[in-house]
Structures are given as C-alpha cells and as structure tokens.
C-alpha cells in the first residue's frame, strides 16, 4: 500500500541535547487511516504483534487484524466482541486472543468463538480492562481500574490492593515473570510486585521511584523499563530507579504512554507530546511532525515486530503508523556533540565518554559518598573507562563541574 508518508530522498534533522543526528526517510513510514485502509478508527489504543508478524489493533470503533495484506475488522455488530471501545490486547501461549474493553469487560477469541468475562458473569472487579499480560504456559492477567484478576485453567482469582494497604487498584501495565509472579504498573499507586506470598509496592513515598503512575512496563531479564507520564523513562535495577527525562538526558519528553524493546536492545517509546522516540542506550532519536513524516506527536502505544523488523505506533487521532526500523535507523550516526555524553547505560564492563569540542576535560568517577575511584584528563574525542572492576550499583561521574549518575550492573 502506498502512503502519503512514504518519502524518498528527503533528509530530516533531529537535534537532541547531546547529538545532532541525520535521518534519511526513504519509504520507511507507512500510515494506515480510515481513508486509505480498512482500519475501523483513527484513534488507536492498543497494538499487539502476532507470532507471524500479523498485527492486532484496538481502536475506539472495534478490533482489527492485519496480516500484511488484508484487514479483518471485529465489532459488536459482526462478532462477539462485547464493546467497540478496545483498550488492551494480548495473545497467550494457548493461542487465544484476549481483548480488554472500556465498558464491558474482556473477551477471549479462539479464532471462531468469543467468550465474554465481565462483572456480571465473573470475578472481574471492573468492566474497564485497561491492561493485559499473558501468563507463561497459558492464562491471562487482566488489569482493571478496580483491581487485578488472574485467569488460569478455568479459575479466576481477583486481587484488591487497596484493601491491603496499597494506594491504588488501577492497573495500567503488566509484565509477567512466571506463573505466579507479575509486575504491575499502577495509576497513582507506583510499582507492584505480586507473588503467591503477597505483594510489595514501590511508590514515591517509600522508595526512590520518581513517578507514581506507570503507563508502560517491560521486563529485560530481571530488570524493568517503565514509561511514566511525568518523569520520562525509568530503569529499575536491584531496588534502584534511574530516570531519563529532558532535565538530565537527551530524552525529548518527560511524558511517555508505552514502550517496547527491539531485538538490538533499543527502546521505542510512545510519547504524549514528542511523537515516536528511540533510545539505543547511547543516543536518543525523535520522530515527530516537524522533523520526519511521522503524522502526530501524541502517540498512545508502540509495539516492535521482530519478524518483520518493524515498529508499530498507534496515534491519538491519526491512525496506525508502521516504521521500518532498519530504514529509520540505518542512516543515523552521531555528528557533533553539543557538550558531552556517556554510554551505554546501564554499563557492564566499560563506559565511553564522548565530547565534541577539542578542549581537554577532567573526569572523576566517584561512589555515592563522593570518594574518587578513577579519573584523569580527557584529551581525545572518545575515552573508554573500565568499570567492570567496581561492584554493581550507582556511581557519580563528574566531568569538569557537571555531575551525572552512572549505573553499573553485572
């Protein structure tokens, strides 16, 4: 399908705090709207990629399935979908498609039969199902505005966090670990780790978490990446929370709705005000209406497809956008740094310091108590600093009179 946003031979510029990068958009953006496709609505709330690269799309006017060539639309009028206001989608290990709606609970679809679960016929605590997470081996976690349910082997178990001293029952995001352990991102309730022995919550009041609302949540091994609406991207490791926002990094936004990780470890972010954002642990890229063919700066959801190596972004009112990852990033390279930066974060064996200006800089790596551990004079444009001999944890990097946090992990 040809899109208005497939542009060849045009050069766009993205300027960030640390790097100026060149993006050559050569047919890498494709926009799907009601005017050029069978997508049922231009307001996209949820996107889920299937195992074959097919895509499930949740909108304000039903559910759509796109196999790369053809669209199939499911609505109340032509299927067992209980509501056209789709807010979440998940595929479980048993092959079911789960759909969460805003007003009538959730539905399970096996390819032919729809089964609805709501407050009237099940233990679902609320009919607004805003988040879903597959349980390894089969089953589903369903997060509602009034609590959580676990549905496995025909048994539905409800969880009420407010009654047990937590600050919220509104579950915005889910990241399952195994059959009995799950991480939950709450609205005004921080981060919750639920297991068969109970739950632990991390909030702005009892931990170093910087935002009490977590709209997006992704696991990376034992660590977590959090998308928040007021404090940007947050990395969680070993009880430490590290925030990336415009005041301490080149992140173009402090307000993110969702995130996903690609096969190279890059992080794709749906921002509320800056379009689609990419962070490769070194540089930040921003695809917005001013510097790229991306059609809208308000992005609700994002999903990476490893089969096709593409990124799907659902916008507030401009439909669905497919971004060819290799095309978007293949021509990107760092130019001149505005000041100085370091990467990767988090680090394991080493970090690289990079600067644009030729003048020498003095650098010091310190522990949180201010005790110098390493340092010297930084002469060349790039400097490799070995950090593998230091214990895992948080450190302070000082370059001249500027200080930044560094996270070292195993």
Residue corresponding to tokens 């439909």: 319
pLDDT band at 330 (very low <50, low <70, confident <90, very high): low
Element (H, E) at 242: strand 240-244
Asked if 195 and 205 count as a contact pair (C-beta separation under 8 A), the reply is no
User: What domains are there in the chain, each with its CATH number?
Assistant: 10-335 (2.130.10.10), 339-408 (2.60.40.10)
pLDDT band at 140 (very low <50, low <70, confident <90, very high): very high
Assess contact for 62 and 84: CB atoms under 8 A.
yes
Assign 332 a pLDDT band (cuts: 50, 70, 90).
very low
What's the pLDDT at 27? Answer: 66
What would the pLDDT profile of 125-136 be if each residue is shown by its tens digit? 999 999 999 999
Question: Could you tell me the pLDDT band of residue 311, with boundaries at 50, 70 and 90?
Answer: very high
Nearest to 269 by CA among 238, 242, 241, 245: 245
What is the spatial distance between Cα 410 and Cα 400, in angstroms, rounded to a whole number? Answer: 28
Q: What are phi and psi of 183, to 5 degrees?
A: -100, 140
pLDDT value, residue 24 = 37
| Beta pairing class for 320-324 and 334-337 | unpaired
Q: Which residue has the tokens 């993006």?
A: 23
Q: pLDDT tens for residues 280-305? A: 887 889 999 998 999 999 999 999 99
**Where is pLDDT greater, at 165 or 356?**
165
């Amino acid at each position: 399908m040809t899109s208005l946003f497939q542009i060849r031979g045009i050069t766009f510029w993205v300027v960030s705090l640390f790097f100026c990068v060149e993006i050559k958009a050569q047919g890498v953006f494709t926009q799907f709207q009601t005017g050029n496709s069978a997508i049922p609505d231009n307001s996209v709330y949820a996107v889920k990629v299937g195992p074959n690269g097919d895509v499930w799309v949740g909108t304000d006017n039903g559910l759509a399935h796109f196999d790369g060539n053809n669209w199939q639309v499911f609505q109340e009028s032509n299927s067992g979908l209980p509501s056209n206001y789709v807010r979440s989608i998940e595929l479980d290990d048993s092959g079911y498609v789960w759909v969460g709606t805003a007003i009538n609970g959730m539905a399970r679809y096996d390819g032919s039969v729809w089964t609805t679960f709501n407050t009237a016929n099940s233990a679902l605590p609320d009919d607004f199902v805003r988040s879903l997470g597959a349980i390894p081996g089969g089953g589903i976690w369903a997060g509602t505005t009034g609590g959580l349910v676990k549905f496995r082997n025909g048994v539905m178990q409800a969880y009420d966090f407010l009654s047990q001293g937590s600050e919220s029952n509104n579950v915005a995001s889910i990241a399952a670990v195994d059959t009995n352990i799950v991480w939950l991102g709450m609205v005004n309730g921080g981060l919750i780790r639920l297991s068969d022995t109970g739950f632990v919550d991390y909030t702005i009041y009892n931990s170093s978490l910087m935002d009490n609302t977590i709209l997006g949540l992704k696991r990376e091994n034992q660590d977590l990446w959090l998308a928040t609406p007021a404090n940007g991207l947050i990395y969680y490791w070993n009880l430490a929370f590290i925030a990336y926002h415009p005041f301490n990094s080149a992140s173009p936004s402090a307000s993110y709705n969702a995130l996903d990780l690609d096969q190279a470890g890059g992080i794709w972010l749906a921002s509320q005000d800056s379009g689609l954002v990419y962070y490769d642990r070194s540089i930040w890229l921003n695809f917005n209406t001013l510097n790229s063919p991306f059609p809208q700066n308000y992005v609700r959801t994002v999903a990476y497809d490893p089969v096709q190596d593409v990124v799907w972004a659902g916008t507030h009112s401009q439909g669905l956008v497919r971004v060819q990852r290799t095309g978007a990033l293949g021509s990107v390279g760092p130019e001149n740094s505005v000041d100085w930066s370091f990467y990767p974060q988090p680090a394991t064996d080493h970090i690289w310091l990079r600067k644009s200006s030729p003048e020498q800089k003095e650098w010091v790596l310190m522990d949180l108590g201010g005790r110098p551990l390493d340092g010297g004079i930084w002469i060349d444009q790039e400097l490799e600093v070995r950090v593998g001999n230091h214990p895992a944890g948080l450190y302070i990097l000082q370059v001249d009179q500027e200080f930044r946090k560094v996270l070292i992990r195993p």
